[in-house]
Amino acid sequence: MESSERSSSVPTQALNPFMPGAGIRPPELVGRERDLEAIDRMVARTKLQLMNQGIIYSGLRGVGKTVLLLSLQEIANSKGMATARIEAEGDPRADYDKLFREIGLLAARLQSSTLQDKLSNVISNAESVSLSIMGIGGSVTVSDSDELRTSSLRLELVIESIVQQLRAENSGMYLFVDELQEMDKEPLGTLIAIQHRMGQENMPFYLIGAGLPNLPGVLSRTKSYAERLFDYRTIGQLSEEDTAEGFQKPAQRGTRPFSDEALKELVHVSHGYPYFIQAYGKAAWNVSDSNPISLDSVKRSEPIARAELDQGLYASRWQRASLMGREYMAAMARVSGDVPCSSSDIAEDMGKTPKETSAVRDALIHLGLIYSPERGKVAFTVPGMGEFITRATPPTGQAYDQTR
């Protein structure tokens, strides 16, 4: 360690600004200026009672969807919009519960007694209205699907009441939903329908969702008009310039920048993936014994970063798959590495027919490990998963099997 660092009272590692992890705010949110400007514009228009579209972000694992939603919510909040955020679960009751809880808190924060009265009326009315719509009266046993219909109606009425009040105050409701592709189709259909109706009625309700690359397809399968309802944006790899900034700005603030060669190497190995920026940045900072951080330190830190990525990003996902699922993913890696490949080529590689492999493919899609970028094709949801499998698994697909 250098003498200047040894003399410092705080250990250098404790000052490490880089933080790989799911949903952990980066020290510098790079490459998202356009999205931050878009939310600024939306808020400005909402204040003028002009309409906007909801936004749908889609991208692979670790590209920064969650932290982007967090930043957008923070901006909307700080500019006087009423916001709520949930992470979808995939169970209709759990999804509705989360929606009611967070939207209930949003309403409570508005501190309006007229709104509270209106909401309690709306909620009790929703039960009886939905029962009479079903034509069964209050005393008949209510089935699961009736209960979901009641929740759907109640959600619509609650949102409508809140948004009416917000509009009168030149504000609006911004609902952020992470992992939206996971949401059960019943609450998802309800949310899309609400977005549709609110738009027609010039009411400021905006769904801002994020999820895996299959999200746009999930939405249009749920309601075909969803295609025209939202502003669809993909988030992926960052430009070289933004990637360099993602490394250098936090390091400079920590008064230990990267040398030009070190930075070039980091930009190269991280491929512009936000999660990789944090993982490689963290390892390089910890290994370095020089200021500025040298190319040599970066080179020495790379195996450490890769091991952390293997453990944190890849191995846990690999272990989530069944043995058949692992064989399928190993075949994907063999056939085309990290680029999308055709399901029939994978089946052929496994010595099976496409029909014989469709159940395992669907199970992997359900687990969120792979997705279908277009009909008849599959791809990994985690960048670099194919490379990991090729590197870490013997041909039998048994690697990282210790936990089973």
Ligand X SMILES: Nc1ncnc2c1ncn2[C@@H]1O[C@H](COP(=O)(O)OP(=O)(O)OP(=O)(O)O)[C@@H](O)[C@H]1O
Which positions lie near ligand X, rule CB under 6 A? Answer: 19-26, 29-32, 59, 61-67, 246, 274-275, 277-278
Residue 95 or 345 with smaller CB distance to Mg ion? 95
When the beta carbons of 65 and 223 are compared against Mg ion, the nearer one is 65
In DSSP notation, 252-272 reads HHTT-PBPHHHHHHHHHHHTT
CB of 290 to Mg ion, least distance (A): 35
To ligand X, the closest distance from the beta carbon of 75 in angstroms equals: 14
CB of 400 to Mg ion, least distance (A): 23
Q: How far is the CB of 76 from ligand X (least distance, A)?
A: 17
Nearer to ligand X, 150 or 278 (CB): 278
Q: What is the DSSP string of 346-397?
A: HHHHTTS-HHHHHHHHHHHHHTTSEE-SSTTEEEESSTTHHHHHHHH--TTS
Give the CB-nearest residue to ligand X: 64
SS3 (DSSP) at 175: strand
Q: Which residues bind Mg ion (CB under 5 A)?
A: 65-66
Q: Which residues pair with 378 in a beta bridge?
A: 341
Cα gap 385→387, rounded to integer Å = 5
For residues 229 and 219, give the distance between their C-alpha atoms in angstroms, rounded to a whole number: 10
Closest residue to bound Mg ion by CB: 66
**Nearer of residues 88 and 194 to ligand X, judged by Cβ:** 88
Of the candidates 322, 300, 311, the one whose C-alpha atom is nearest the C-alpha of residue 275 is: 311
Residue 26's binding partner among ligand X, Mg ion, none (Cβ under 5 to 8 angstroms by kind) is: ligand X
C-beta of 121: minimal distance to ligand X in Å? 38
C-beta of 65 vs 167, nearer to Mg ion: 65
Cβ at position 249, least distance to Mg ion in Å: 22
Q: Do 311 and 318 meet the contact criterion of CB atoms below 8 Å apart?
A: no
How is the beta sheet containing 341-342 ordered, strand by strand?
341-342, 377-380, 370-371
List the one residue out of 321, 346, 341, 318 whose CA is nearest residue 331. Answer: 346
- Residue 306 binding: pick among ligand X, Mg ion, none (C-beta 5-8 Å cut-off by kind): none
Partner whose footprint covers residue 376, from ligand X, Mg ion, none (CB < 5 to 8 Å by kind): none
